[in-house]
Structure 1
C-alpha cells in the first residue's frame, strides 16, 4: 500500500512539473504584438463579478433562471389556491399573470426586463410549445373513441348544444367587438369564427380532475359531464382545425385543398397509425421498453409535424396522436405512458406556457371603466352560453333542474384548454393584446366559479348521497338481523309442528327457547326502527317521569343477561339522585348499549356514579374489541360496530341510544381504554 502511494505521488509530481515547463516555454512562441491588444488586467474580485453577471445574461443561464422562477411561483400558487378549493390550474394561471407585465412588470420594471428580456421570449415559446405537444398528447389519450361512439343520444344532444349555443353567442358578440378590437389585417369571418370557438371550449382535463376531487363521478350529472366534455373536446378541436384552415387560406380553392389535406391526414391516422399503435400496445402490454417508447414519441412528433406543415397547428396533431392510442380494454399502453409524460409536461414544461400567457396578458391595458365593462360582458355571455346551453339541453333530455344546472356549471369550466386556443389565436394575429387579456380573464373567472357554484347548487347532494348510502347499508344489515331470527323461529316451529319428528322433551324445550329468543331479538330490532322513525319525523314527545337510573339499568341488565346467558358485574353509588326522564326510551337506550357490550366481548361491567347532580353510567367489556378505526367512525352516520368474529351490527341501536340520551340533555361517548371497550353516558339530574 505504501509503495503504491509513493508511485502515485511521484507520477503526479513528475507530470505536473512537465506540464508547467511546457506552458512556460510555450509563451515564448507568442506574437510580440499580441500583448499590446490585451486589455489591462483588472482586479480579481471585479473580474469574477463581471464574468458572473455576464454569464447569467447568456441564453442558457438566463433560461435556467427563468425555469427556476417560473416553476417555484407556479407550484406555490397552485398549492395556495388549494386552500380555497380551487384546481391547481387556477393558481398556475394567476402565477403567469403575476410574473408578466400586469404585476411584476408594473411594480418592478427593471427586474422584469432583466428576468424576461424580449429576446429570450422566443426560447420560452418554443420550449412551452414542446410542453403543450406532450400535454395535448396526454389529453388525447384520456379520450376513448370507443366510448364516445357508444354515447347515448342524450350526451350527444347535450354536448352539441353546449357547443353551438355559445358559438352562436360568440359570433353575435363579434359584430360588436370587431370594430373595436380586431387587428387591421384580419377580416371579419375568421375573427368571428375564432371568437365563437373560444366561447365554446370546455377544459376536459380540468373538469375530470374537479369531478374526481369532489367525488361526484358516480352522480348522473358528473358522469354525463365527463362524457359531454370528451365529445366537446373532439368536436371543438375539429372545428378549430377547420377555422385555422379557413383563416390561413386566401381563397375558396385554397380552403378546399387544406380541407382535403386534413381529411387525408385523419384517414392516415385512423387506418395506418392507429393499427400500428395497437400492435405496439399488444407487444408492450406488460412493460414498455425504451424502443417502444421511442417509436411512440417519434409518431407523436411526426403527427405534430404533419398538422403544422398542413397549416392547422402542431397541437392538433399531438391531440390526434393521443386519441389514436389503443383503449385501456385492449392494452395498458396508456397507463404505462401517461405518468411518464405527465411529469415532464405538467411539472417542467407546461409552467412555461402559463408564464408566457402571463407575459402576453397586460391587465394594465384594461385601464378604463369601458374596458372592464366589455370584459365583464364577455364573461357574462360566456357563462350564459355554456352554462345555460348545457343546462337547458339537459333539462330537455329529462334531467332535474338541479342536475341540469350542476352539469351546466361543470361544462362552463374552461381552464387550460381555453388558454391553448387563445394563444393560437394570438400567434396567428387574430386576437389583439387587449382582447387576448380580456379572454384570459374570462378563462380564469369561469374556472374559479366552478367550485363555489357547484357547491351552491349541489349543497344537498352530499347529504342525500349519505342518506342513500346509509339507507342501503341499513337495509342490507337489517335484512340480516331480521332474517336470521326469523329463519330460526320458522325452523324450530316447523320441527315442533311436524308429526313425523319424535322429539325428546329437552329438544322441545330448546326449540321453544329458540322461538322465544328469536322473537325477542326481532322485537328489539322493530322497537329500534319504530322509535328511530319517530325521531326522524320529529314525533317523539318525551313522557317524562321521576325515576331512578339504577332501577332502569338493573331491569335492562336483567333482560340482557337472560338473552346472552351471561352475568355482568354491577356497581352503583347509593346516593344516585333521581332523574326526570322517559322511562321507556331510556330503557331502550341502555338495553342497546348492554346488548353491544355482551355481543362484542365478555366480562361486562356496569358502573353508576354521581357527582354534583351529574349521573355517569359506564358500560365496559373486554374480549374481541372493535378496532380503533371503527371507534373513530361511530360518531358519523352510518357508523356501526363490527369485530373480527364477523358480528356486524346495523348501527341503528347505537345511533338511537345516542339520540335518546341527547334529547334528555346527556352525552354518549365510545372509547377504548385499558384494553376495554366502554360506553360513557352522562345525564344531569334536576334535583
Structure 2
C-alpha cells in the first residue's frame, strides 16, 4: 500500500513538473516568435469576478437556461395559486405569462425585463415553445376518439355546429367594425374577418375536459354532451383554421385552389395510410412501448408537422392530425403508452415557454384609453354571447332543460390554451396587430375564468338535493334488504344448531356454522357502509389523505375478496402508475364493495388498472346473469339494488357508498355493459 502511494506521488510530481517546464519554454518561444504583442485594452478586460460572471450569463445558452428557470417557477407558482379559487391551472399560467411580459414586469422593472428577455433572445424562446406546442397538440389529438365522435347523436352534431357557426358569424360581423381601426397594413379583409370568426368560435377541449372531471360532471347529461361537442368543435375548428390559413397565404384564386387540394391530399393520406400504420404499431405493442416504436412514432409526428408547415398551413395542424390518427383505446393501449412520455415534457417544461411568449407579445399598456377598454369589453361580451347562448339555445331546442342548456353553454364558452394557440398563429402571420392580440388574450383569460363561478351559480344545490332526495326514498328499503336477509340466515342456522331435537351430521353443522360466519361478515360490511354513509351525510368524515400507491390498495382489497369468495380474478396493472393522494381506509372499503359485487354476480372477474394523461383508471368487470341496460342506467342516480334473475342479493348501499367515497376523492364512477360483461369504471386524476 505504501509502495503504491509513493509511486502515485512520484508520478504526479514528475508529470506536473514536466508540464510546467513545457509551458515555461512555450512562453519563451512565443516571445521569440512575436516581438510585438498587442495587449488587450483595459475596457475589454473584466474588472471583477462579478463582471466576468455577468458577461458569461449573457451568452445565449446561460440566458436561455435562466429564462427557463424563471418561466417554470412563475408559471407553476401562479398555476398553484389559482387552484385555491377553483380555477384551472391554465388561468394561472396565462396570468404568469402576462406578468413576465412588458405589461407588468416591463413597466415596473424595465432594466430587469430587458436583461432577462432581450429581443435577440426571443427567437430561441419562440422555436422551443413551438416544439412544445407540437408535442402538446399531438397529445390533444390523441385525447380525441374519432370512433366515438362518428357515433355521436344528432343532438350533439346540431349543438356542436351551432356553437361554431353562430359565434363565427358574430366574429365576422365584428371584424367589419374592427378592420378600419385595428387591422395591420397590407392585410385584406377576408383573412382578417375569417380569423376573427375562428378566434370567437374556439372551445378549449383539454381545459373543458379537466373541469368536467374535477367537478364530477361526466355522468350528467350536459357534462357528457359538452365533452362530445367540444371534441367535435376542436376537429371542426382546426379544419376551418387550416382553410383560413390556406386562403390567407395564397396570393391568388388558383394558388388557393392548389393549396386546398394539397390539404385534402394530406388528410386522405393521414386517414388511409398513417392511421392503419399506427393501428399496426398498436397491435404489436402490448404491455410496454419499445424505444424503436416510440422513435418511429415521433418521426411520423415530426414528418406530419413538417408536411403541413411546407404546405403553408401550420406545423401544429400536422401535430394535431397525427395525434388524432392514433387507434382508439378499445383497439390498443398505444395512447396510454405514449401519453405519459410526452405529457410531462410538453406540459411542464416546454409549454410554459409558450405562455411566457404570449405574455411578451401582450402589451396591456396599449389599452391606455377608455375607448380601448370598452372595445375589449365588447369583444368579451360578444364572445360570451355567441358561444354561451348559441350552445344554450341549440341545447334547449334539442330537448334539454334550461338549467342544463345554460350549463352546457357555460362549459362550451371555455377557451383557455387553444384560444392562445390560434391567436399566436394569427399574430405570427401578421393578421392580428399587437393591440388586437392583447384584447383577445384578455378575452381568452376572462372566458376561462368565468366558467367555474358561472357553472357553480347555475348548478348550485341541484346535484346535492337530488342525491339526498333519492337516498331518503330508498334507504328504508335498502336497510330492510341488506340487514334482514343475513340476520334471517344467522337466526335460522343458530336455531338449528341450538335445537336439541335436531340430530345434525358433522357436514350439516359445518355448513350452518359457515352460514353464520358469512352472514356475520356481510352484516359487518353493511354496518360499516351505513356508518360511513351517516358520517358523510352529517359532514363528520374528513378525509385522512396521504400519498399512496393505488395498486397496493387494489391488491389488498382483491386479496380479501378472493379469500372471502374462494375464487381468483384476472389482474392487470400497468407499470409507472402515478401516486394518488387519498384516504386509504375509505378507498379500500369502496374497492372492496365493488369487488364483492363482481364476485357475487359472475365467475369470470377481471381487474385492470391503467394510467394515461395523468389519470388513473380502474375497471372491474364480471360475467354472469347480467342485469338489463335499463337497470344499469338507473344506478348512477338511484341507490337501488342490483338483483339479477337468479335472485342473488343486490349491491344496494355498498354501491352507493363506493360512489360517494370515490366522488369525495374527486373521482368518477361509471357503470356499463361491455362485451357481455358488467363493468364498473373508476377514474381518478392524479395530483402529483
TM-score w.r.t. length of structure 2: 0.72
Partner of 1:286: 287
Q: Is the 8 A contact 2:223 2:408 kept in 1?
A: yes
Write out the 4+ residue segments of structure 1 that deviate beyond 4 Å after TM superposition: 40-45, 485-488, 504-507, 624-627, 629-633, 638-651
- Counterpart secondary structure, 1:159: helix
2:43 and 2:180 mapped to 1: Cα distance?
60
Larger C-alpha radius of gyration, 1 or 2? 1
1:50 and 1:483 mapped to 2: Cα distance?
84
Per-residue deviation, 1:215? 1.0
User: Is the aligned partner of 1:160 residue 2:60?
Assistant: no
Q: Is the 8 A contact 1:375 1:442 kept in 2?
A: yes
Pairs within 5 Å for 1:284-683: 284-467=285-468, 470-471=471-472, 474=475, 477-478=478-479, 480-481=481-482, 484=485, 634-637=534-537
Q: Is the 8 A contact 1:78 1:89 kept in 2?
A: yes
2:413 and 2:228 mapped to 1: Cα distance?
14
Q: Is the 8 A contact 1:633 1:639 kept in 2?
A: no
Q: Is the 8 A contact 1:182 1:431 kept in 2?
A: yes
Partner of 1:204: 205
Per-residue deviation, 1:472? 7.7
Partner of 2:663: none
2:466 and 2:296 mapped to 1: Cα distance?
46
Distance 1:124 1:397, change over 3 A: same
1:161 and 1:649 mapped to 2: Cα distance?
42
Pairs within 5 Å for 1:8-47: 8-31=8-31, 33=34, 36-39=37-40, 46-47=47-48
RMSD: 3.2
Per-residue deviation, 1:649? 10
- Counterpart secondary structure, 2:47: helix
Partner of 1:194: 195
Pairs within 5 Å for 1:33-182: 33=34, 36-39=37-40, 46-182=47-183
1:374-400 C-alpha deviation (Å, 9 max, x unpaired):
000000000000000000011111111
Per-residue deviation, 1:54? 1.0
Q: Which runs of 5+ in 1 are unaligned?
A: 493-503, 508-598, 602-623, 652-687
User: Is the aligned partner of 1:5 residue 2:5?
Assistant: yes
Distance 1:485 1:450, change over 3 A: same
Q: Is the 8 A contact 2:221 2:404 kept in 1?
A: yes
Q: Is the 8 A contact 1:640 1:650 kept in 2?
A: no
Q: Is the 8 A contact 1:78 1:90 kept in 2?
A: yes
1:260 and 1:472 mapped to 2: Cα distance?
62
- Counterpart secondary structure, 1:288: coil
Distance 1:473 1:27, change over 3 A: farther
Distance 1:63 1:649, change over 3 A: closer
Q: Is the 8 A contact 1:202 1:412 kept in 2?
A: yes
1:164 and 1:430 mapped to 2: Cα distance?
21
Per-residue deviation, 1:39? 2.3
Q: Which runs of 5+ in 2 are unaligned?
A: 494-498, 503-521, 542-585, 597-648, 655-688
Q: Is the 8 A contact 1:470 1:638 kept in 2?
A: no
Q: Is the 8 A contact 2:526 2:653 kept in 1?
A: no
Q: Is the 8 A contact 1:630 1:640 kept in 2?
A: no
- Counterpart secondary structure, 2:417: helix
Per-residue deviation, 1:362? 0.4
1:16 and 1:170 mapped to 2: Cα distance?
76
Partner of 2:242: 241
Per-residue deviation, 1:2? 2.2
1:281 and 1:52 mapped to 2: Cα distance?
51
Q: Is the 8 A contact 2:172 2:193 kept in 1?
A: yes
Distance 1:485 1:213, change over 3 A: closer
1:419 and 1:625 mapped to 2: Cα distance?
52
Per-residue deviation, 1:505? 13
Distance 1:483 1:397, change over 3 A: farther
